[in-house]
Amino acid sequence: MSAVHAHPAVARSEPRWTHVDDHYVNGAWTRSTATARLPLVDPATGRTWGSVPDGSADDVDAALDAADRAFRTGPWPRTTPSQRAALLLRIADEVEARAAETASVNTLENGSPINETRGAAANAAGILRHVAGLASWLETEDVRPFPAGGAETVVRKDPVGPCVLIAPWNFPINLMVVKLAPALLAGCTVVMKPAPGTSLSIRFVVEACEAAGLPPGVVNLVTGGGDTGDRLVRHPRTAKVAFTGSTPVGRRIAAACGDLLRPVTLELGGKSSAIVLPDADLGQMSSALIRTCLRNTGQTCYISTRILAPSARYEEVVDMVTRTVAAAPQGDPFDEGTVFGPMASKAQYDVVRGHLESAHAEGARATTGGRPAETDQGWFIEPTVFADVTPDMRIAREEVFGPVLSILRYDGLDEAVALANDTSFGLGGVVFSADRASAQAVAERMDTGSVGVNFFGSNHNAPFGGRHDSGLGVEYGIEGLSQYVAFKSIHRRTG
Ligand code: NAD
């Protein structure tokens, strides 16, 4: 077993912000009334380097009052979608102008390798630009005749109102901007709450909104933990909630929104499968493996961490997966060569350790890794592959959210599809095959929101969302934009 590599790292520059005591409310950085604080800890070293306010009830009131006022009386919802799109394009440029600082603070916050976070600003800018291109969907007049004639209906797409946007820590920029962009284009105002450990990197997006000239109160930012999030969700001025995070918290938010009859979108956990068809090109699969099955040190919601291999090629697949994972360097996330960084927090490290222990206890065979990494610094888990995993094992059923793959065996296509569909989740998935038509046929049988053929990627143009325990509603595409719209039908006589 190897220790964490100590490659020369990109210097950890001192971030612009460390200990902050403000939120962004009504167009200004405003001192929080909170007495409690939340630490920011570098997961690669365990060093506490900053802290943010644990947002109080007063902070939540102030932010939602500002968002509500801007929605009811401010200019933003009264501009045209094209005008808002033009501003989104300016925000995109401003986000990109802050790419290097954003990447560095993001990596310091959650330990995502710098090669991952370096793309965060460009990805966010891409989302903003793509969403700006959807303005015509809002703008085009939609008039529909009554089937019996004599009257018609104008279908309007009104902004839903002040939205609460809550994100997790694994992709703190992307998972907020994918909510922010459609909310803004639709004409909504927002209060954003990042996850506690990744509270600072999103300030670059707020700065970008300010620099682009967004009117006061349209975008607000409050930091805090679960209680702050809960207050935001239940607040009387909140018109809609968009949440990405764990399934248990998603259920609580869904229950609160159900009670309040408040629209909600939920992007939750996953346990997706990679079906390796008997004709799969394992060389090609190897080159796609890390991104598809272990992206961001396994801390990605849609990755396919259950690999389903045909019995006839089982050992061959195990061998390829083991070699590919063992060859990918783990180390300092600021190192350009690092593929696997640390777990984002001590809590996540403990969760993953628990999964490793259960897998060993239930008889899975670790072909590489299998335990915490040998280091006295940070929260590193050895990238791990478990073979001889059976469908009833915990490691085969629960989301691990760490660098751990399970390889299960199947006989016949029907069993492969049945195994893939036999989880409580339905988020991602991938089919590896040399034949596109066979792969497509299998993809169509998978009970999940998105499936890739020989790769997985999220397409800004197509809906992304989970089924079952993986969520409600979708993000991306026109379908994602529609979640920030309240339809109104105005009937009128013709002739
Ligand atoms: P989490 O559910 O613990 O927290 C997510 C966010 O919710 C944080 O900002 C947190 O402070 C806030 N929160 C906690 N309790 C709350 C409450 N009662 N009311 C309102 N807000 C509350 O999730 P996490 O550990 O930060 O993120 C990891 C999870 O996110 C994984 O399960 C992962 O699969 C999921 N995820 C899903 C997607 C997707 O698109 N489906 C994408 C990324 C991550």
Q: Residue 152: what pLDDT?
A: 98
Domain boundaries, the chain: 22-268+470-489, 273-459
Task: Take atom 11 of ligand 1 and give the residue whose Cα is closest.
Answer: 225
Residues with Cβ within 8 Å of residue 412, at least 6 apart in sequence? none
For a mutational test of ligand 1's pocket, the pick from 112, 169, 170, i.e. the residue with the most ligand atoms closer than 8 A to its C-beta, is 170
pLDDT in tens, 261-276: 999 999 999 999 999 9
First to last CA, the chain: 81
- The average pLDDT across 92-107 equals 98
Query: Would you state the structure tokens that stand for residue 331, as one six-digit string?
Result: 């180390």
Give the CATH fold of the 22-268+470-489 domain.
Answer: Aldehyde Dehydrogenase; Chain A, domain 1 (3.40.605)
CA distances from 240 to 258, 268, 483 (A): 11, 17, 9
- Position 14 pLDDT exceeds 90: no
Pairwise CA distance, residues 372 & 349, whole Å: 8
Percent of the residues in the chain that have a pLDDT greater than 70, as a whole number: 98
Which residue in the list 94, 116, 267, 475 is annotated as catalytic? 267
The CB-side HSE value for 54 (13 A sphere, CA atoms) comes to: 10
- The average pLDDT across 129-151 equals 97
Residue type, 347: A
Confidence of residue 132 (pLDDT cuts 50, 70, 90): very high
Place of tokens 């938010």: 253
Which residue in the list 188, 301, 382, 399 is annotated as catalytic? 301
Task: Report CA(55)–ligand 1 centroid distance (Å).
Answer: 17
pLDDT in tens, 175-211: 999 999 999 999 999 999 999 999 999 999 999 999 9
Residue 475 is a catalytic residue: no
Architecture of 273-459 per CATH? 3-Layer(aba) Sandwich (3.40)
Pairwise CA distance, residues 66 & 414, whole Å: 55
Select from 201, 203, 194 the least CA-distant residue to 106: 201
Angle in degrees, CA 95, 51, 67, rounded to 5: 55
Confidence of residue 8 (pLDDT cuts 50, 70, 90): very low
Query: Would you state the structure tokens that stand for residue 71, as one six-digit string?
Result: 């929605």
Residue type, 385: V
Confidence of residue 307 (pLDDT cuts 50, 70, 90): very high
- Position 6 pLDDT exceeds 70: no
pLDDT in tens, 114-125: 999 999 999 999
